[in-house]
Amino acid sequence: MVTTIVSSFVAFVSTNVDDIFILMALFSQIRAGVLGGDEAATLAKSGMQARHIILGQYLGFAALVALSIIGALSSFFIPVPWIGLLGLVPVYMGIKGLLALRKSDSDDEEESVSGAGTTLKVAAITVANGGDNIAIYIPIFASQTLSNNLITLIVFFALVAVWCYLGYKLVRTPVVASVLEKYGHVAVPFVLIALGVFILYHSGSFGLLPF
């Protein structure tokens, strides 16, 4: 049991280190909205709240785990390049955020986006960034007994909560919060675009695009 817990912990951490930075970028937009900045990025304007990020992270991670279990139980497998196409989601969100920065106060309009919509966007980013998760989780689930797999699932989903907590707290530390307050609304769209391009490149998805 101890070995299973340790191996599950290592597997999660090694495949989700970059998610901390993604969560920080998303939570920083909530902070931007709370601060009331006129140029808060699109996610803040769309009404995104902490619960949407947390639910989206859990939903996306659950999808990755489900794909991994299916892959472990059968020969079914969605090629990583196709999963990587979801990298277009953060690219779209980043471009939309940049366009929002160009709007004047007179042209600035609040978008009506449901909580479900923002949650699905976060879930899509999580899945898009999870090609390495699936590659590592499939052999783990395939090689363990049912009881050990249940332990692994408990560890995984408990660590998702820890990751969300760390991402939320890190953007509220004095130094990080000060920087984000000044530059976060400008930097985050570029972070999202860079993340999307990295996902597309790392997953080999560019070859599937029609250009």
String of DSSP letters for 37-105: -TT--HHHHTT--HHHHHHHHHHHHHHHHHHHHHHHHSS----HHHHHGGGHHHHHHHHHHHHHHT--T
Residue type at 141 in one-letter notation: F
CB atoms closer than 10 angstroms to residue 207:
7
Q: Where are the domains of the chain?
A: 2-204
Give me the pLDDT at residue 151, please. 94
Give me the pLDDT at residue 38, please. 38
Q: Is 209 left (phi over 0), alpha (psi -120 to 50) or beta?
A: beta
- Count Cβ atoms within 10 A of the Cβ of residue 175 and give its class: 0-12 exposed, 13-18 middle, 19 or more buried: exposed
Give me the pLDDT at residue 116, please. 65
Q: pTM, whole model, 2 decimals?
A: 0.68
Give me the pLDDT at residue 76, please. 55
What SS3 state is found at 110? Answer: coil
Task: Collect the ranges in the chain with pLDDT lower than 70.
Answer: 31-48, 74-78, 80, 101-116, 176-185, 188, 211
Residue type at 72 in one-letter notation: A
Question: Any idea which residue has 């004095």 for tokens?
Answer: 174
Give me the pLDDT at residue 114, please. 52
CB atoms closer than 10 angstroms to residue 209:
9
